[in-house]
């Protein structure tokens, strides 16, 4: 991807020098960390058992009132990094601003005003309005504080473990998470959460639609980047490979050797790549109706 290093984004919060503080939530005797997928999981449990499982993590996801204020940027220990990692941060900062500028320009046509999300970089674990974020969950968006969380170590995993290398693969991941913020700003996330409560048996299906729409929105940004001459040869293939690599079927196959479509929450490899491609080809949010077919 063609990009130019510049001043770090004002919407970048660097917590790499801070301790996550340990902890997490305990469910059934095991310790886990809550990310975007964890939010949906707890929501399904709350619906099925008619209990507020979000109380286990000390905050209700998506309410905007978690009772927790993150440490101010710059607090904690100095960041121990390498020149290679700092170059990666510069790239992520560039993509963050580029994606958000694209949505800022697009929103007036939707009759809306875009309020930017903040990208939080962390190591190992960190507190969020959705509970503890952990590197094992991968990148995620928290509706409660309207922030995207990424441990840069995930990009190494994306390359080595999932076979999706390249800078545009990294850009796709961030654009997907910002897509969740777009859904939140437009009220789509709240509508889906309400639909899950009304139709608990359709919770997984609705979760998949939400995730595939975020893939399509990432593609809409990629279309804009291509129109502005930001894409290089092979970038589209990198993005499609990354979308496919994190499909539920591939993730389940790698983890357990089995595939259970009934438990999908993000969509299959083919679905994820196809919806990213649809947004890339159309450049139009209207093409991203994953709920209506």
- Name every residue whose Cβ is closer than 8 Å to that of residue 49 and which is 6 or more positions away in sequence: none
Termini Cα distance of the chain: 32
What is the predicted pLDDT for the residue at 139? 95
Asked whether 96 and 10 are in contact (CB, 8 A), the reply is: no
Residues 117 and 162: their CA atoms lie apart, in Å, by: 27
Give the E-state strand segments of 35-164 in sequence order: 118-122, 125-128, 131-134, 140-142, 147-151
pTM: 0.81
pLDDT for the residue 79: 75
Euclidean distance between CA atoms 146 and 181, whole angstroms? 7
Q: How far apart are CA 130 and CA 54, in angstroms?
A: 9
pLDDT tens digits, residue range 24-43? Answer: 332 333 334 454 555 555 55
DSSP of 254-278: HHHS---GGG-SS--HHHHHHHHHH
Q: What is the pLDDT along the chain (293 residues), one digit of tens a residue?
A: 999 988 999 999 999 988 654 333 323 333 344 545 555 555 554 444 444 444 444 433 432 332 333 333 444 566 788 999 999 999 999 999 999 999 999 999 888 999 999 999 999 999 999 998 888 888 999 999 999 999 999 999 999 888 898 999 999 999 999 999 999 999 999 999 999 999 999 999 999 999 999 999 999 999 999 999 999 999 999 999 999 999 999 989 988 999 999 999 999 999 999 999 999 999 999 999 999 85
Residue 39: the pLDDT is 55
Q: Judge contact between 174 and 217, C-beta under 8 A.
A: no
- Our CA dihedral for 43, 45, 49, 54, rounded to 10 degrees, sits at -60
CB 53 within 8 A of CB 42: yes
CB atoms closer than 10 angstroms to residue 234:
12
* Cβ neighbours of residue 55 closer than 8 Å, sequence gap 6 or more: none
CA distance 202 to 41: 13
């Amino acid at each position: 991807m063609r990009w130019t290093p510049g001043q770090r984004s004002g919407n970048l919060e660097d917590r790499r020098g801070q301790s996550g503080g340990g902890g997490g939530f305990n469910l059934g005797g095991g310790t886990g960390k809550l990310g975007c997928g964890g939010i949906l999981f707890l929501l399904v449990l709350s619906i099925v058992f008619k209990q507020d499982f979000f109380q286990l993590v000390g905050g209700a996801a998506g309410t905007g009132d978690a009772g927790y204020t993150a440490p101010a940027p710059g607090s904690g220990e100095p960041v121990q990094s390498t020149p290679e990692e700092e170059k990666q941060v510069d790239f992520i900062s560039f993509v963050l601003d580029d994606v958000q500028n694209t949505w800022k320009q697009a929103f007036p046509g939707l009759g809306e005003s875009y309020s930017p999300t903040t990208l939080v970089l962390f190591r190992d674990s960190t507190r969020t309005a959705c509970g503890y974020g952990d590197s094992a969950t991968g990148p995620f968006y928290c509706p409660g504080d309207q922030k995207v969380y990424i441990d840069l170590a995930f990009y190494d995993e994306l390359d080595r473990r999932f076979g999706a290398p390249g800078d545009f693969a990294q850009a796709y991941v961030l654009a997907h998470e910002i897509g969740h913020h777009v859904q939140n700003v437009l009220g789509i996330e709240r509508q889906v959460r309400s639909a899950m409560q009304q139709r608990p048996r359709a919770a997984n299906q609705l979760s998949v639609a939400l995730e595939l729409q975020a893939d399509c929105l990432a593609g809409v940004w990629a279309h804009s980047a291509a129109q502005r001459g930001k894409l290089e040869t092979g970038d589209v293939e990198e993005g499609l490979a990354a979308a496919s690599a994190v499909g539920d079927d591939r993730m389940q196959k790698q983890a357990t050797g089995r595939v259970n479509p009934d438990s999908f929450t993000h969509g299959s490899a083919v679905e994820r790549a196809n919806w990213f491609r649809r947004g890339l080809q159309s450049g139009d949010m209207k093409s991203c109706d994953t709920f209506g077919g």
